[in-house]
């Protein structure tokens, strides 16, 4: 949060430096949120003009589409590093107390499979099995079909062999 910490040390993340578009977004990180806020306001104002019976306006779309959604997203994301260490079950015996939580995974689009993530951080998919809903992974797979992204790392086969199935808490939380 300090200006002295703002510049990224690309020696520590050389993969990031390979992509000029990511370096640009890293340096000018306020551009995308400002464009989104402006687009939402414009969309709401356009709807208010073209479809006045809908009762939509620029400020309304800005508040709900930008401020409220950003606040909810921030709190859902921040909850993972607290609640996902308290609620749920542990498939893998990791050195921390991370847990898998179905409810948290629904709220955070897949991030609730936190114990899986702590065991195999490099895997793209955090929900290792078909019944572990991981919406973020599904979206990444669709983007890979378009060629926009590539080289998604699969869950290692060792994960399936290593899963001990122990349950320290109800799996649905």
The predicted-structure confidence for 130-173, as pLDDT tens digits, reads as follows: 999 999 999 999 999 999 999 999 999 888 888 755 444 444 44
Question: In terms of Cα–Cα distance, which of 38, 20, 170, 36 is closest to 103?
Answer: 170
Mean pLDDT across the stretch 23-33? 92
Tokens 């790392």 correspond to what residue? Answer: 153
CA 127 to chain CA centroid, Å, is: 13
Residue 47, both tokens? 């709807």
CB 55 within 8 A of CB 30: no
- Global pTM reads 0.71
Residue 27, both tokens? 């340096």
SS (H, E, C) 109-147: CCCCEHHHHHHCCCCCCCCCCCCCCCHHHHHHHHHHHHC
For residue range 105-115, list pLDDT tens digits in order: 998 999 999 99
């Amino acid at each position: 949060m300090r200006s002295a910490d703002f510049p990224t040390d690309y020696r520590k993340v050389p993969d990031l430096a390979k992509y000029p578009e990511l370096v640009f977004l890293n340096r000018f990180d306020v551009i995308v949120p400002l464009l989104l806020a402006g687009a939402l306001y414009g969309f709401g104002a356009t709807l208010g003009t073209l479809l006045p019976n809908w009762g939509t306006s620029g400020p309304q779309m800005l508040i709900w589409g930008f401020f409220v959604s950003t606040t909810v997203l921030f709190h859902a994301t921040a909850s993972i590093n607290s609640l996902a260490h308290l609620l749920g079950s542990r498939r893998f015996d990791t050195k921390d107390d991370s847990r898998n939580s179905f409810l948290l995974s629904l709220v955070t689009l897949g991030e609730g499979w936190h114990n899986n993530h702590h065991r195999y951080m490099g895997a793209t998919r955090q929900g290792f099995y078909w019944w572990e809903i991981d919406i973020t992974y599904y979206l990444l797979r669709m983007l890979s079909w378009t060629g926009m992204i590539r080289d998604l790392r699969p869950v290692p086969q060792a994960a399936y062999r290593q899963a001990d199935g122990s349950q320290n808490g109800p799996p649905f939380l």
